[in-house]
Structure 1
């Protein structure tokens, strides 16, 4: 029996990927780096299982932030594709959930680094919030 696949892509469609599943935890990150990288009030990323690059892996570029975190993007259209913690291998990439082309079985379970949130953004009252990471 074939497992379910969830596909995603960048804005220009040059980068395309498929995953077989998702990690249970997914958070809205309000740190200033995620806000700038995504051009939004927060970034939402999720760890995935069974990632396959369907096309455009050669179009991926990376930015390493001063704290060592690595952000991956399409070098043609600039779409935010993913995030890795300092020292994590490429295979450990967390993908931006907004890049998926259809509905995905992911529920946001936390709001993290809320101490850095934009003053114009209200937190969602029904989701647990953490000033720093989940343990902070």
Structure 2
């Protein structure tokens, strides 16, 4: 249904169903991982997520508790995170890296208490 690839194209995967939830996360881990003010992820059942190529290029990082983040070891592009205690059979994928169009009806803001401060011009 949706195709995705990392920046260098080594890792490709597809989503076999429509994501069930999309959120922009403002937590410090997502900010640091993406080098941005927030990260937008869509979540779906793990069974509806399939790697097509490049699994040998994946690097995993246990960022907290059971949460494991995966990224391409060649270009560093974020691929997925999984391991939520409340949704152990789900995976969340970075929306910005989808190669096929993805139209969102809503995006939930999470960890807004950690929002990055605005830039100050001097």
Q: TM-score, normalised by structure 2?
A: 0.83
- How many angstroms apart in 2 are the aligned matches of 1:59 and 1:86? 23
Greater relative contact order, per chain length (Cα 8 Å cut-off, separation 6+): 2
Q: Report how many aligned residue pairs link the two structures.
A: 116
- How many angstroms apart in 2 are the aligned matches of 1:86 and 1:104? 24
Per-residue deviation, residues 78-111 of structure 1 (Å, max 9, x unmatched): 001111135676x632111111012113334310
- How many angstroms apart in 2 are the aligned matches of 1:29 and 1:71? 14
Match 2:32 to one of 33, 36, 44: 36
Per-residue deviation, residues 13-55 of structure 1 (Å, max 9, x unmatched): 0000111223332110000000111111101111135222111
Most deviating of 94-103 and 17-26:
17-26
Q: Which runs of 5+ in 1 are unaligned?
A: 122-136
Q: TM-score, normalised by structure 1?
A: 0.75
Given that 1:16 and 1:54 are in contact with CA atoms closer than 8 Å, whether structure 2 keeps it comes out as: yes
- Match of residue 98 from structure 1: 96
Bigger fraction of residues in strand: 2
- How many angstroms apart in 1 are the aligned matches of 2:90 and 2:20? 15
Q: Which runs of 5+ in 2 are unaligned?
A: none
Alignment of 1:111-130 (within 5 A): 111-120=109-118
- Aligned CA RMSD, in angstroms, stands at 2.0
- How many angstroms apart in 1 are the aligned matches of 2:32 and 2:11? 21
